[in-house]
Amino acid sequence: MPLVPSDYNPNFIFKNGHLSTVYSGLFRRIEGLVQQRERLELEDGDFMDLDWSYSETKSKKVIILLHGLEGNAQRPYITGSAKAFNTKGVDACSVNFRGCSGETNRLFRSYHSGATEDLDAVVQHILKKQKYSEIYIKGVSLGGNLALKYVGEERILPAELKAVIGVSVPCNLYSSLKELLSAKNYLYAKRFKKHLVSKLWSKIELFPDKISKEDVLAIKTLKDFDDIYTSRAHGFKNAIDYYEQCSCRQFLPKIKIPSLIINAKNDSFLGDECYPYIEAEENPNVYFKVPNFGGHVGFVAPSNLYYSEKTAIKFVQDMV
């Protein structure tokens, strides 16, 4: 308890994890969602852009949506979630992490899997609006790790924060990295690395004393990126130190509000250590669903309302 059974059973073609992952990332489309951008100025002089969408009726409820590695607030897994919650009377604040909204961020640092100070800045910003009595958080992949780490850390959570959902969560970052570096995920890893490295060229121009052309050219794998940039820019010793400090699995035992994790068995991005069965059994606040299918963020379902979105809505309704 509480390991939650799943009845997710997609059409035959989407029982293939890779097909569901690729289709959902490249071909899914969300129509009819209107977003309004707000720039959140951070205390360290940087910024994040928040893309808001609203329920048709005035709402006292809001969900904060967090994207994955090299994602943004316009990815279909974010816009699909925003639209789904909006139709249920919940406003949505879709976060673009530092440097992910189409504009280079101001500082040498950017975002990473454990940057909960940035999530807290969003939560505090929303609280200051004095508009919402209920706040939820839903994070996808990297964003899911961030959300779960946030509620499991030693901090006093606001009473307005009622529940958290993580989808396709790399609960152990090193375990996930090893899977991404395997042959079956070569094309995914290549795509991630390409996008990450492309952003570093602007960092060279802005911060030549902190990173060089030779540094960027030395990046051959995702781990190299974390050794050369992520760890250096965010105060970790190296990539392994970053993975160890920021993996959310170690924080799950201390979670004190209802939190749901949805990780598919056939998610090729997740190693065995990314499935926290023990933590879910021992902490009554951690609910864990492990569908047989879904790939990585690929829970295709009829009417373009994904299983992960429908489940998140039901979880919020049941818990609150």
Grade residue 4 by pLDDT with cuts at 50, 70 and 90: confident
* pLDDT given at position 189: 98
- Residue range 104-122, pLDDT digits in tens: 999 999 999 999 999 999 9
- Residue range 279-316, pLDDT digits in tens: 999 999 999 999 999 999 999 999 999 999 999 999 99
* pLDDT given at position 96: 98
Distances (CA, A) of 119 to 51, 94, 143, 201: 14, 11, 10, 26
Q: Is the pLDDT of residue 130 over 90?
A: yes
Average pLDDT, the chain: 97
Q: Is the pLDDT of residue 51 over 50?
A: yes
Q: Is the pLDDT of residue 3 over 90?
A: no
How open is the CA angle 191-193-187, to the nearest 5 degrees?
35
* pLDDT given at position 319: 84
Q: Within 13 Å of residue 45, how many CA atoms lie on the same side as its CB?
A: 4
Label residue 36 left, alpha or beta by phi (over 0 means left) and psi (-120 to 50 means alpha): beta
What is the total residue count of the chain?
320
Grade residue 181 by pLDDT with cuts at 50, 70 and 90: very high
* pLDDT given at position 174: 98
Q: Is the pLDDT of residue 1 over 90?
A: no
Q: Is the pLDDT of residue 320 over 90?
A: no
* pLDDT given at position 117: 98
Q: Does the predicted model carry a pTM greater than 0.85?
A: yes
Grade residue 82 by pLDDT with cuts at 50, 70 and 90: very high
- Residue range 133-150, pLDDT digits in tens: 999 999 999 999 999 999
- Residue range 193-214, pLDDT digits in tens: 999 999 999 999 999 999 999 9
Burial (CB < 10 A; 0-12, 13-18, 19+), residue 169, is buried
Q: Is the pLDDT of residue 19 over 80?
A: yes
